[in-house]
Amino acid sequence: LMELKEEAKMNIHQDNAQINKLIRKNLITVDMGSSLVNDNDNVNDMIKKLIAVAELLYTKKDTILSNEAA
């Protein structure tokens, strides 16, 4: 699960860089880029939540409680 978390973080940065390149090359409009960024943020939020659920189901540590205490 730690690998998935790290991969998700890396993908966020790569996706944003790719969207930026598409806008700069005029392959998509700024509005399309904005929509892609919003969609991408929603997907990334879902990925984070799915990883949190997997941690609750398959690990001994309750990551939600440990995050609230911090």
What global pTM score does this model have? Answer: 0.72
Q: What is the pLDDT along the chain (70 residues), one digit of tens a residue?
A: 788 888 888 888 899 999 999 999 999 999 999 999 999 999 999 999 998 898 888 887 766 666 665 5
pLDDT at 8: 87
pLDDT at 63: 61
Domain boundaries, the chain: 2-69
pLDDT at 64: 63
Report how far residue 61's alpha carbon sits from residue 30's, in angstroms, rounded to the nearest whole number.
Answer: 43
Report how far residue 52's alpha carbon sits from residue 32's, in angstroms, rounded to the nearest whole number.
Answer: 30
